[in-house]
Chains A and B, each alone.
Chain A
Amino acid sequence: MNKMWIVFRREYLVRVRKRTFIIATILVPLAIAALGVGSAMISMMGAKAEKRILVKDDSGILENVKHDKGSLQFAFASDSLEQLKETYAHDGYDLLLYIPPFPDLKARSHGVTYYAAEKPSITFLGRVEWAVGEAFREHKIDASQIDRALYDSFETDINLESTTIGVGGDSSSGKMASILGTLLGAIMGVLMYMVILIYGQMVMRSVMEEKISRIAEVMISSVKPFHLMLGKILGVGAVGLTQLAIWMVLIPVVMTVITLFIPGMDASAMSSASVQPGMEAMQQMEEQGFDINAVINEFFHLNWLVIIPSFVIFFLGGYFIYASLFAAIGSAVDEDLGEAQQFMLPVMLPVILAFIIAMSSIENPNSSIAVFGSIFPLTSPIVMPTRLPFDPPIWHILLSLLLLVLTMLFFVWLSARIYRVGILMYGKKVTFRELGRWLFYR
């Protein structure tokens, strides 16, 4: 046991002191910040890009009702269309619009023609269509002499306020909760997926390195293979946790510093640009008026006493299962990475499947596939975190944890049996059948 910690210490220190680790740990928050700033700036610039449109309005509707609409600037001309076609680009307009007369108030469609020197984007055209359409609607309302207040009252804003009944009568309610839950679930699921893949494979490479450098036998003449493997898995896992912890501190700090120094940039603009699954939620928040108090309130309302410990256990369980399998693969193959790939495929499949289920679980955390994925031990470490913020039944969590721990113990045992034999095996092409035999070696 003591020796396992000596191995752990070396595996940890060697990696943490590596230049690549230090660079990655610092660079990733900067890169994420740069991405956030960059995309926010691009979307801000895109939004501000003004378009000038010259209109020959034979219907008189657009001219009468409304002029500028957001970033669209309309100007009107009465010269002949042929003449305008010659000059509009030269006069600095992006688009020439011709609106023919509109005789019939009841008509449901109306053809409008445009001319542009450069092919305009679909979104730009969409905005123009929308602006002209708005003007036509206003015109129709006015011309039909409908009471505007009455007309406006036809529109009703529906706010879905759900009340999930929790176990202890403690329930989180409101749309804000599900927005937060979705965000949190997505982040946890993606994090888990990345950690398992990146650090699991780091363990594999480390085992392969030991085999290639021929130090394996020297090592296991002093340390039990099981302790060597476990020390390695723990060491690499601790490296992962260290990196995550640093990022958790560094990313918000970098974000905050940037928002202080770049005018017109706020955190919500950046996060809406950088966190894809949260984009819709953020937009909805903005539309409703961003109520920070409500978010904070909901944030504290989430069942953290269940979420945090479960997340940690799922994290460790998932990591141990996959890292030990990757260690076994690393021990079974020689230098040949291609050979390793053959064994990695069956290990990767459940991880990828879990990721797919997790993504659908974010949409629908109580679907039967999500429930299955969150209990089945090979997928639960990735799927369950996405369900946790939505107060799943406690027995789901307990059953899932139980299965996870049992599976973890089984896989660590299984991998240790393979590792023990594989680490001393050279120059032999290993098959699955061979691996099966190793399990029963003395």
Chain B
Amino acid sequence: MSILSIQQVSKSYRNVVAVDAVSFDVPRGALFGLLGPNGAGKTSLIRIITTITAADSGVIYFDGEKLNSSHPEKIGYMPEERGLYRKMKVGEHLIYLAQLKGMSSADAKKKLLAMMERFEITSWWSKKVEELSKGMQQKIQFISTILHEPKLIILDEPFSGLDPINTNVIKDEISALNQKGITVIFSTHRMEQVEQICEYLVLINKGKNVLQGKVNEIKDTFKEGIFRVSSDGAMNGNLNGLNILSQSANELMVKADTGHSPNDLLRDLLNRGITIRGFEEVKPSLNEIFIRTVKSLDDE
């Protein structure tokens, strides 16, 4: 059973359709990418999932139940527009936010102390938020998102404004959480981040989902039978009749004929007497897939 099932959800503001009959499932325990350009409707959709706004039509199931007001406590949401009360002390602040997620104050304190130790930031406990650097505040923000041990974590552009070191800290934490079986939805317009991290994705454009599934499978369906062939030194042998897309000193990009398997191509290359060092199918990047998909939809 999927943790989140979104069925025909729509939402519009005045004349603008922000979410247009979107349907997809988020498998339990998945690292799930919610992709789309700016203004595609990602945040609108997330706000519906977190019950901040209501959908105009459609149904959402959370953990098998119809989405209701008890569910936000089981969700950890880090919005793109995020911040903290600047004058509050870190420890107090995090306990406050955890209480609002339904934790008792004592429980929150215990868990928080353990977590701050893990992040090696126990000394920040009684510092005011405004005394911390931006990166430090982001860490606090992340802790506030996961402290109440949600079943589902939704991160909206989690790495914006983070330096590479802190990005890695958060990335590691995300995969650690995922290993514990927690589902993470990762919303971004940065395709390469999803490519690295996520197993599943849904692609949203102009409020509609245009593509969804496992990242690998999507890449497979978009592959065009292009192979990178590398060799020692110059390409020797007979290249006549091959569909060569590009050629450099020791590398060749070849498109296989339709109906030919990689093995067929490799055999053909060997028969031609080419010394092969490397042979690899080139899959399109998500970025390319995205651009191609959006373009083909626009052409329709």
Question: Which residue numbers of A lie inside 8 Å of B, CB to CB?
Answer: 3, 6-7, 10, 14, 210, 213-224, 424, 426, 437, 441-442
Pair B101/A222 contact, Cβ less than 8 Å: yes
CB contacts (< 8 Å) of A441 on chain B: these are 13, 53
In the complex, which residues of chain B have a beta carbon less than 8 angstroms from the beta carbon of A424? Answer: 47, 52, 81
Out of B14, B56, B87, B144, name the residue touching A218 (CB < 8 Å). B144
Cα–Cα distance between A263 and B81 once the two chains are bound (Å): 63
B183 in contact (CB, < 8 A) = no
Our pick among A6, A14, A214, A216 for the contact of B100 (Cβ within 8 Å) is A6
Q: Which of B76-133 contact A (CB under 8 A)?
A: 77-79, 81-88, 96-97, 99-101
A213–B97 touching, CB < 8 Å:
no
Chain B interface secondary structure, helix, strand, loop or mixed? loop
Cα A441 to Cα B11 with chains together (Å): 11
Query: B141: nearest residue on chain A (CB-CB)?
Result: A218
Asked if B210 is at the interface (CB within 8 A of a chain A CB), the reply is no
State in angstroms the CA–CA spacing of A10 and B86 once bound together: 14
Q: Are A221 and B83 in contact (CB under 8 A)?
A: no
Q: A12 to B78: give the CA distance in the assembly, Å.
A: 26
Which residues of chain A come closer than 8 Å to B69, judged between CB atoms? 224
**Which residue in chain B gives the minimum CB-CB distance to A423?**
B52
| B85 and A221 form a contact (CB under 8 A) | no
Report Cα–Cα, A222/B141, bound state, in Å.
Answer: 14
**Complex contact B84–A215 (CB within 8 A):** yes
* CB–CB B82/A218 < 8 A: yes
A221/B72 contact (C-beta < 8 A), A14-B87, A215-B85, A424-B52 known: yes
Asked whether any CB of chain A lies closer than 8 Å to the CB of B75, the reply is yes
Docked-complex contact A221 and B54, CB < 8 angstroms: no
Of listed A3, A218, A224, residue having the most chain B CB within 10 A: A218
Query: B residues bordering A, Cβ < 8 Å?
Result: 13-14, 47, 50, 52-54, 56, 69, 72-73, 75, 77-79, 81-88, 96-97, 99-101, 141, 144
Query: Do residues A442 and B72 form an inter-chain contact, with CB atoms below 8 A?
Result: no
**Alpha-carbon separation in the docked complex, A120 to B52 (Å):** 73
**Besides A7-B100, A221-B75, 18 other A-B contacts (C-beta < 8 A):** A3-B100, A10-B96, A213-B83, A213-B85, A213-B86, A214-B82, A214-B83, A218-B78, A218-B79, A218-B83, A220-B52, A222-B73, A222-B97, A222-B101, A223-B100, A424-B47, A424-B81, A442-B56
- What are 29 contact pairs spanning A and B, CB under 8 A? A3-B100, A6-B99, A10-B96, A14-B87, A210-B85, A213-B85, A213-B86, A214-B82, A214-B83, A215-B82, A215-B83, A215-B85, A216-B81, A217-B79, A217-B81, A218-B77, A218-B144, A221-B75, A221-B77, A221-B79, A222-B72, A222-B97, A222-B100, A222-B101, A224-B69, A424-B52, A437-B14, A442-B53, A442-B56
Q: How many whole Å from A23's CB to the nearest CB in chain B?
A: 16
- Tell me whether A221 and B50 are in contact (CB under 8 A): yes
Distance of A437 Cα from B82 Cα, bound (Å): 26
| C-alpha spacing A220/B100, complex, angstroms | 10
Tell me the complex Cα distance, A222–B103, Å: 12
> Nearest B residue to A224 by beta-carbon distance?
B69
- B235 CB, nearest partner CB in chain A, Å: 56
Minimum C-beta distance from B139 to chain A (A): 15
Q: Determine the chain B residues whose CB is within 8 A of the CB of A426 once the complex forms.
A: 81
A75 to chain B, nearest CB (A): 69
| A219 with B100: CB separation less than 8 A | yes
Min CB–CB distance B81 → chain A (angstroms): 5
The 6 closest A-B pairs by CB, nearest first: A214-B83, A222-B100, A217-B79, A213-B83, A221-B77, A215-B83
Taking the nearest CB of chain A, how far is it from the CB of B11, in angstroms? 8
**Chain B residues positioned under 8 Å from A214 (CB to CB):** 81-83
Of all chain A residues, which has the CB nearest B96? A10
Residues from chain A with Cβ under 8 Å of B144 in the complex: 218
CA distance A214 to B85 in the complex (A): 9
CA A410 to CA B86, docked complex, whole Å: 33
Cα–Cα distance between A14 and B69 once the two chains are bound (Å): 28
Given contacts A10-B96, A221-B77, whether A442 and B54 have CB atoms under 8 Å apart is yes
Report the separation of the CA atoms of residues A428 and B137 in the bound assembly, to the nearest whole angstrom.
26
User: How distant is the Cα of A73 from the Cα of B84 in the complex, in angstroms?
Assistant: 72
Please, which residues of chain A bring their CB within 8 A of the CB of B54?
A: 442
A215 to B14, CA, bound (A): 26
A2 and chain B: residue at smallest CB distance: B102
Given known contacts A224-B69, A424-B52, A442-B54, A218 and B97 CB-to-CB distance under 8 angstroms: yes
Q: Output the residue of B50, B96, B144 with the most chain A CB within 10 A.
A: B96
- Assembled-state Cα–Cα distance A217/B83 (Å): 9
Please tell me which one of the listed residues A6, A14, A213, A217 contacts residue B52 in the complex, with CB atoms under 8 A apart. A217
Docked Cα-Cα span, A424 to B72, in Å, equals 17
Smallest beta-carbon distance A52→chain B, Å = 62
Q: What residues of A have a CB within 8 angstroms of the CB of B99 in the complex? A: 6
In the complex, A224 Cα to B52 Cα: how many Å? Answer: 8
Once the chains are docked, how many angstroms separate the CA of A7 from the CA of B99?
A: 10
- Expressed in whole angstroms, the Cα–Cα distance for A224 and B53 within the complex equals 10
Chain B residues in 8 Å Cβ range of A6: 96, 99-100
**CB-nearest residue of chain A to B77:** A221
Q: Report the minimum CB–CB distance from B148 to chain A (whole Å).
A: 9
Chain A residue at minimal CB-CB distance from B87: A14
B83: A residues at CB distance < 8 A: 213-215, 218
B52: chain A residues at CB < 8 Å are 217, 220-221, 424
Contacts of B14 in A (CB 8 A): 437
Who on chain A is nearest to B105 by CB? A6
In the complex, what residues of A have CB within 8 A of residue B86's CB?
213
Task: Kindly state the separation between the CA atoms of A233 and B272 in the bound complex, as whole angstroms.
Answer: 82
